[in-house]
Structure 1
């Protein structure tokens, strides 16, 4: 599908005015990175949709519309999420993460968090303190793929069996995902339009807006980082006891970063106070996790009428897998992408997509959905729920079509697309934003800082 048409369909699904599409300029063409899938189109269209929606909200607040330009190669490289700290490139994967050959197929294990790694190793019958990757491979060779996937889900371990597209389509979860739209914007309560501070042509489109970011890996942090780049005050809220991966250095650009313990009365009271002055609440915890603490969508709408609540999940809200934890790499494997990509490459084994495009595109759909829901709130009133999932984004990516020449393009040099900045983690070298706004250039006003650096209060 052509990128312009892809963007138009995203725009129509969000219910935004069609005349704004005349201010979008998409350059470049597929293939952008080596893949049989239209990953460049997915990156470019989702990034452009987020930027254009932010600008349309800015227009509603009093600023003239402005041109949004996104180059496909730049967008695709941005979605590789490459970064370094003080010249060191952190490893993307734990040694135990990845594909394992089983007795009748393959399983992918996600082990970047220690508790997930240790849980998977124990399920294999191994001692996490002494096990080596070779031990895990031997242990996995005795399992049937679906048996391990089922046992992992029962044990709270994150692992999925490799499927072909037709096998995924035949599952109850595959059918549930196919029946859902890419994302949903739903009015969930009555409220008058909340007056937003007006802006003029000199201010970024989301200036003066406040976003609570209760997300961890990777789509949610990317979406909230985009909202910060478009001018919003974004506060990342972490629990002090939860582990983080090094990618937080890259995804925290532009954000305040505070600690709150939501298992305590004091922590919940502080979050409730922050919510009172927030415009957007973004959460990516396991389904129902925040509702148990009093911050589900309906609870937030009652506490702060007019709120936009954005909810991220791995496998959507329908079907038997709706409660399951998941990550981009696992969703790729479960849905059929790894099998299809390996088959197209002729390598004789499964192959991952060239970046975590389900995470990245979903992140920008979070940013688009938040801006679109705020736009709707200004015109119609109400509180709003935006729902996205990695699996729904995967279904959308599959619908963009396949590329017969996708592996003919070489992996490009990333150096021209990088920028450097001081951060609380060290010298951060990372990808520049590919969305270019004609009048108010995108920028992060705050450096990336470690969790807990800032007090939990709005500036």
Structure 2
């Protein structure tokens, strides 16, 4: 599966993560099949997972390069858990999707109830999708996008890559770093044991992310042994993805807008090593938790965040999802042109989410390495829109057309079934092999809000002097 295009992606990911003069590690990827797309989605899957695995090796000093199964890497970008004896809810709300307008196409994202209400505030209620489609045929795509967003909803008009690059936000986000990193003031020297078999044993990760990218990152960290505590607002529901992304974690609820919730959050944060969050650019700061405050509450914190649209430019605080970014930045239009027809053709999987998730995991591990070396805190920012820029720079040549993946077989899955909070499920095998460091999860997937918002074993005495209690 290794190719010149994959090598280029690997170089860009590695140098996006490591600004020093560390030589490019070797890349070992097996498997010749790739997802059918206008862009190297399978290559991005293999290299982003390789980056996270290599970051784990660098943290523990493992000299062996990880070996990546390219086909399994592509499958992990789609679905890693297969329910047995029970079905998942529908992935999309009845009104979510792409619609033709009077002058183009628009995508509406209505999975969350308040996003659907915002769409209906602008367009009114419709009895079914067909009636909504008839209404949208009389609308201007760009104007409607702005109206839905202004109402608090989520929408994106179809744009070409050229139109995106000419757009004030598209022009700006393309100049951002793939992974923007900053060293923070020093904290106490960490005493993480970093055993190769469970590199993140004793490391506490506070997870304030939802949907896919951030949860993919914390799922990977949990697979390396981290104690991951996910926090969701009291009313947040994610029924389609719970089984997929809560593997290895405990999931609790906390309201950061009330005094009791804030006190508990600050206590949890003071006992944390890593914070990952996926709020819009200014949302956490508006709650009183900017980078400086986070470091005050937890000196030496590894603080890694993402958003949909990037950290500068007019859309920095806009709500967004993978499918919307694909529509706005030109990926879905490039697919339309590549494969013919009038309708948008997005990537075959939500690759921006998954790739950014593994880049986040790699960034957390790099931040830990920096903390071990220099005792400093660390912060980093990533975005789906910036990851999209990486793909846009490297379309498949016209002569290259991947034929897709072979059918999934029992050999792709672990032999033992997983018992989840919803029933039995089969899980894909790990997409990488790093000698001495397996990807293992000590907890099965569990529903949101099924745990209490506290660390299981506090070991508070001496924690800020580096004593992690064994």
Which shifted more, 426-435 or 17-26?
17-26
Question: How far does the alpha carbon of each residue in 1:10-67 deviate from its partner, in whole angstroms, 9 at most, with x for none?
Answer: 22222277768546422234x61111210011111111101110221122xxxx4343
CA positional deviation for 1:207: 1.8
Q: Secondary structure at the match of 1:213?
A: strand
Which shifted more, 449-458 or 156-165?
449-458
Provide TM-score, normalisation by structure 2.
0.90
Contact 1:4-1:26 at 8 Å conserved across structures: no
1:433 matches 2:442: no
In structure 2, how many angstroms separate the alpha carbons of the residues matched to 1:258 and 1:319? 34
Q: Give the corresponding residue for 1:211.
A: 205
In structure 1, how many angstroms separate the alpha carbons of the residues matched to 2:120 and 2:285? 31
Q: Give the corresponding residue for 2:291.
A: 297
CA positional deviation for 1:103: 0.5
The equivalent position to 1:28 in structure 2, one of 28, 31, 50, is: 31
In structure 1, how many angstroms separate the alpha carbons of the residues matched to 2:217 and 2:23? 21
1:153 matches 2:149: yes
How do 1:233-382 residues align onto structure 2 when only pairs under 5 Å count? 233-382=227-376
The equivalent position to 2:78 in structure 1, one of 77, 80, 85, is: 80
In structure 1, how many angstroms separate the alpha carbons of the residues matched to 2:208 and 2:455? 15
Which shifted more, 145-154 or 74-83?
74-83
Q: Structure 1 residues 93, 429: closer, same or farther in 2, change over 3 A? A: farther
Contact 1:113-1:245 at 8 Å conserved across structures: no
Q: Structure 1 residues 304, 39: closer, same or farther in 2, change over 3 A? A: same
Q: Give the corresponding residue for 1:173.
A: 169
Question: How far does the alpha carbon of each residue in 1:252-297 deviate from its partner, in whole angstroms, 9 at most, with x for none?
Answer: 0011111212222221111111111211100112232222333332
Contact 1:23-1:66 at 8 Å conserved across structures: no
Question: How far does the alpha carbon of each residue in 1:222-246 deviate from its partner, in whole angstroms, 9 at most, with x for none?
Answer: 1110111122111111122222232
CA positional deviation for 1:407: 4.5
Contact 2:205-2:276 at 8 Å conserved across structures: yes
Question: How far does the alpha carbon of each residue in 1:76-127 deviate from its partner, in whole angstroms, 9 at most, with x for none?
Answer: 1110126443342432222211100001000001111122123213311225
1:185 matches 2:212: no
The equivalent position to 2:190 in structure 1, one of 195, 202, 227, is: 195
Question: How far does the alpha carbon of each residue in 1:199-250 deviate from its partner, in whole angstroms, 9 at most, with x for none?
Answer: 344x322222111110011101111101111221111111222222321211
Contact 1:204-1:231 at 8 Å conserved across structures: yes
Q: Secondary structure at the match of 1:204?
A: coil
In structure 2, how many angstroms separate the alpha carbons of the residues matched to 1:90 and 1:401? 34
Contact 2:247-2:443 at 8 Å conserved across structures: yes
1:136 matches 2:138: no
Q: Secondary structure at the match of 1:256?
A: strand
Q: Give the corresponding residue for 1:227.
A: 221
Q: Give the corresponding residue for 1:90.
A: 89
1:71 matches 2:69: yes
CA RMSD of aligned residues (A): 2.0
In structure 2, how many angstroms separate the alpha carbons of the residues matched to 1:19 and 1:291? 34
In structure 2, how many angstroms separate the alpha carbons of the residues matched to 1:231 and 1:65? 20
Q: Give the corresponding residue for 1:451.
A: 448
Consecutive unaligned residues in structure 1, runs of 5 or more:
none
In structure 2, how many angstroms separate the alpha carbons of the residues matched to 1:55 and 1:5? 21
In structure 2, how many angstroms separate the alpha carbons of the residues matched to 1:191 and 1:291? 21
Contact 2:214-2:277 at 8 Å conserved across structures: yes
CA positional deviation for 1:132: 0.6
Contact 1:125-1:139 at 8 Å conserved across structures: no
In structure 1, how many angstroms separate the alpha carbons of the residues matched to 2:434 and 2:224? 9
1:423 matches 2:420: yes
Provide TM-score, normalisation by structure 1.
0.92
Q: Give the corresponding residue for 1:103.
A: 102
In structure 1, how many angstroms separate the alpha carbons of the residues matched to 2:278 and 2:340? 36
1:14 matches 2:17: yes
Question: How far does the alpha carbon of each residue in 1:123-177 deviate from its partner, in whole angstroms, 9 at most, with x for none?
Answer: 11225xxx21011101111110001011111111100100011111110011101
In structure 1, how many angstroms separate the alpha carbons of the residues matched to 2:400 and 2:222? 33
In structure 1, how many angstroms separate the alpha carbons of the residues matched to 2:217 and 2:137? 38
In structure 2, how many angstroms separate the alpha carbons of the residues matched to 1:209 and 1:49? 20
Consecutive unaligned residues in structure 2, runs of 5 or more:
457-470
State how many pairs are aligned: 449
Q: Give the corresponding residue for 1:118.
A: 117
Q: Structure 1 residues 2, 442: closer, same or farther in 2, change over 3 A? A: same
Q: Structure 1 residues 381, 275: closer, same or farther in 2, change over 3 A? A: same
